[in-house]
Each structure stands twice: as structure tokens, then as C-alpha cells.
Chains A and B, each alone.
Chain A
Amino acid sequence: MISSVFSWLGDGANWSGPDGITHRLVQHLEYSFGALVFVLIIGIPLGLYIGHTGKGGVAIAGVANALRALPTFGLLLYLVIAYSGNLPTDWIYLGPALFVLVVLGVPAVLSNTYAGVQNVDPAARDAARGMGMTGMQVLWRVEVPNALPLIISGIRSSLLQIVATATIAAYVTLGGLGRFMIDGLSQRDYAQMAGGAVLVGLLAVALDLVMAVIQRYVVSRGITGRYALPAASADVVAAESSVSV
């Protein structure tokens, strides 16, 4: 079984063409990052607003957490069956698929963003105001940099969920890596099915590593504690922080 999965993955013929792994991988990334863009557009500003003003936290958090309980697959089928007649041809399947991925991804980003902003040390916030910063300056110069580790970890978990769940797009005629899992299952080609699952897993891990690297360079060293140190101990600190990301 395992060797047949590897031979499926290793067969060059499976990588090329419109049904090939390369094309499916690109599609999978398109769905995932397409959804992530909307997740960020919705989740980040809303999270910053709630965190900064403290308004609407209970209501929005309640809604966001309720959305987490929605069964994504069921929602997708419902949208396709109920609304496919009203959508332009290109969006009949893509629209509902992106929508459910956005619904899936928003809660993690939203709640991490506002929790991050809310939990900024009040002393730092007060000091910034005392220095004469405006509300916007406090937000962008103090709250966002301090909340960044939490915001990015929200984006990471959202991306992870979206990449793993984007497989269901294949159920509604679309492509992506889910195509291999669904086709493999119904064609009783289990090497293809398991191969697809392995690829999704690898893709999720790889993207998470990329996000970890981004987090390391985007978050201020004042927050992570990675100050420039004498050359002798720099390597040790680097090793420590790579473990902690």
C-alpha cells in the first residue's frame, strides 16, 4: 500500500497535464490563497477595530465562534444546490467554494487579532497616549506591533484549516488536490487517493513553515527578545528562537 502510494507520487506521468499533480497543486493554492485574501480583508480590520475600541467584542466573538460550528461541507452543498441557478457561469461552483473557505478561515484571524490587540500591556498603551500619540498612532505603532505574534499565528491556523479543507472543492466539480482523493476513492485507485492526502499534508506543513519564517522576520525583535547580541552567543539564541517559532 505505502509503496504503491510512493510509486504513484513518483510517476512523472501523474505530474503533467490538466489532471496532473502540478496543475492540481496550483489550483489548490489558488483556492486557498484566494480565500485567505478575503479572510484577511474581513478578519484583520474587524479584529483591530474591536481590539482597539473594545466595542462589539462579545457580539462579534459570538458570531465568529458560531461560524466555527458550521459544517463546511454541508454549507458548500447547500449553497451550490440552492443558489447555483443565480450565479454567473464561472462562479457557480467557485463562488460557494471560496465562500465556505472564507467562513471557515475568518474566526481564527478575527479572534486572534482582537485578542492580540486587547492584551497589549495597558502601561505601554497609556505611555503612548501620554507621549501625545493619536488613536491611530497608538494602534499602528504600539498595539499592532505588540499583537503581531498572535495575529500571525491566527493567520497560520486559518491558512492551515483552509488548505486542508480546500479539498472539498473537488466534490463540486472543481480541481485542487481533493480531485485525487475523490477520484481515487470512486475509482478504487487507493494509491491515488492516499497520494492526494499525502500531498495535502505536505503542502500544509510546507506553508506553515513559510509562515513561521515570515513571522520570524516580521515580528519586532523587541517583542520576540531576539536582540542583536555579541557574536559568541548569537548562534545559541538563534537556535532557541527557531525552536520556539
Chain B
Amino acid sequence: MKRRSMMFATAALVSSLALTACGGGSDPLDTSTSDSGSGSSGDSITVGSANFPENVLLAEIYAGALEAKGVKVSKKLNIGSREAYIPGLEDGSIDLLPEYSGNLLSYLDNKATAVSSDEVYAALPAALPEGLTVLDQSTAEDKDVVTVTKETAAKYSLKSIGDMKGKNLVLGGPPEWKTRPTGVPGFKKNYGVEFKEFKSLDAGGPLTVAALKNGTVDAADVFSTDPTITENGWVTLEDPENQFAAQNVVPIINKEKASDAVSAALNAVSAKLTTENLTSMMGEVNLDQKEPADVAKEFLSSNGLS
């Protein structure tokens, strides 16, 4: 263990030296160390993130909040999908990562039935592998929402997913929606809604945005924190049957590293995070092309967390 962290520190030092010239902010293999708070609370925490911008931003926020409390932090961002980073958390190569409650639960326990925010959070501790735990969850949620344009919503008077019943619309979503209970089969089971056609797009990515704009789909899967929703004035349909499980942002952490100081710092972040401020931060990252680290710093200082 010790030897491994030595090797890691050396590798991190070498790569940070190599990358100082070019910034290297978004390199997926970038591992940069930062020594700002002299390590007053003992050993350091390695913050990881999944490979999409919002998760990187959240990881930067966690890292910044910990550094502000004098915790030594190293970052290992853009790791990949859950299949890649959960084993990393278990073997200790990363210690902390921002997660989404519902997806985490269904990854850990594919028979889980909890859908509401509280149920999911309550079910998590038992499902987690030994040695890992979750801290307080925030109200910020990044979940699938069925989104339609303002015109479509007005034309068919759509407010909730159930309103699409009998309207013969074209649905767009990620390819797995074709077969998964969160997709086409779920709409039929939970709301009795059937679609004229299902088009496979990317999960809330640029293709989905383009397809909604050019009208090849009437309704599409977009993520609730996607700034393009507010930018285009789109309407998100309510999901009263909780077809999409709650996805509150929650820190998942190695128990050994979750000291009182660390937990307090991260719980303070969770208390301040909301879907709205996360969406507007994502607007700065995606639309204004700001670095996640800078956006994280602004958030921390404006909320008194730095």
C-alpha cells in the first residue's frame, strides 16, 4: 500500500512536471497533485470522477472544499464509467467520488426497487461494498427528464409524461431505452404511453439537442442539469410515477478517509448544491467554455466554502 502510493506520487509528480507547460486541464490521464493545505489532517485524499464534465466539476468542488479545510488532496479525474471507478474505490486507488444516488444503487443492486429520493438514499448503505460509505446527499439531481419544445408542449398540452398518451409522438433517447424499463417498456407500463417510433440518439448529448431542434423527434431524453433546456426554453415533463429513479448528487467515500473534518466539509457542500445552481454552473462549463476548476472555485467562494 505504502509502496504503491509512493509510486503513484512519483508518477503524479512526473506527469504534473510534464504538463505544467500546457496546463493539461482536461487530459483524461492527467493526475495532478496539489499541496495547498500542508496536510494538517493526516493522510491525503484522492478525488476521482467519471468521464463527463458535470462529474469533473463536482469532483473539483469536493477537492476545493477539502483543500480549504487543510486536507491534502490529489485528483484523478475523468476515470471512466462506474465499471472502472467503483473497483478503484474498493482497492483504494481513489478515495472519494461524486455519485448519483439512483444510478449508484441500481449499479450495486440490480434488483433495487427504491425510486424516490429518500428511499434510494436509505437503501444505499446496505448495498455499498464493504469499506465504502456515502455522506449527506444534496438536493441537486441530475436525472433523465423527458423534454419537449415549447411548441410541442403547447400543441399537445403536455405537462406530465402521461399526457403523451395517444398523441402518437416520436421519442428519442439513448439506444438502451429500446429495451430497458427506464425506456420504451417503462413508458408503456407506468403511463400507458406508446410512441409512433423510437429513435436511438445519444444520452442527452449534442445529437439529442439537434434532433429536438430539427424536429426529427418530438420528445427526447435530456438530463435535468443540462443548460440547453433553459437556453432553448424547452419544457421538461413531470414524472409522477418515478419512472426515473432519484439521482441526487452524493459523495461516495472510503470509510477510513471519512474523518469528521472531511465529512463536515463535504456535507457543507451538499447543503449548498441545488439542481438550479448545478445547471447554471454547467452553463458556464458547456456554453461559456470555462474550466471546471475555475467554476468550482467561484461556487466555493460565493457560498463561503473556501
> CB within 8 Å of B: which residues of A?
77, 80-81, 84-85, 87, 89, 92-93, 170-173, 179, 182-183, 185-188
Q: Which residue, of B175, B201, B202, B207, has the highest number of chain A Cβ atoms within 10 A?
A: B175
B162-200 residues at the A interface, CB under 8 angstroms: 172, 174-176, 178-180, 199-200
Contact B175 A187 (CB under 8 A): yes
Q: What's the least CB distance linking B201 to chain A, in Å?
A: 6
Q: Mark B200-229, 1 if CB is under 8 A from A, else 0.
A: 111000110111011110000000000000
Nearest residue (CB) in A for B200 is A173
Q: What's the least CB distance linking A236 to chain B, in Å?
A: 53
Q: Which of B200, B206, B207, B209 contacts A183 (CB 8 A)?
A: B200
Contacts of A179 in B (CB 8 A): 200
Contact B214 A172 (CB under 8 A): no
Contact A92 B200 (CB under 8 A): no
Q: What's the least CB distance linking A5 to chain B, in Å?
A: 18
**Given A80-B207, A173-B200, A187-B180, 14 more pairs with CB closer than 8 A:** A81-B206, A81-B209, A84-B214, A85-B210, A89-B215, A93-B216, A170-B200, A171-B202, A172-B207, A173-B172, A182-B200, A186-B176, A187-B179, A188-B176
Interface size class for chain B? 20 to 34
Nearest residue (CB) in B for A185 is B175
> CB within 8 Å of A: which residues of B?
172, 174-176, 178-180, 199-202, 206-207, 209-211, 213-216
Contact B210 A80 (CB under 8 A): yes
Q: What's the least CB distance linking A182 to chain B, in Å?
A: 6
Q: Which of B174, B176, B178, B207 contacts A81 (CB 8 A)?
A: B207
Contacts of B178 in A (CB 8 A): 183, 187
Contact A85 B213 (CB under 8 A): yes
Q: What's the least CB distance linking A95 to chain B, in Å?
A: 12
Contacts of B215 in A (CB 8 A): 89
Complex: how many Å from CA A182 to CA B179?
Answer: 13
Complex: how many Å from CA A179 to CA B199?
Answer: 11
Nearest residue (CB) in A for B178 is A183
Q: What's the least CB distance linking A52 to chain B, in Å?
A: 44
Complex: how many Å from CA A112 to CA B214?
Answer: 40
Contacts of B176 in A (CB 8 A): 183, 186-188
Q: What's the least CB distance linking B20 to chain A, in Å?
A: 29
Contacts of A186 in B (CB 8 A): 174-176
Complex: how many Å from CA A81 to CA B212?
Answer: 11
Contacts of B210 in A (CB 8 A): 80-81, 84-85
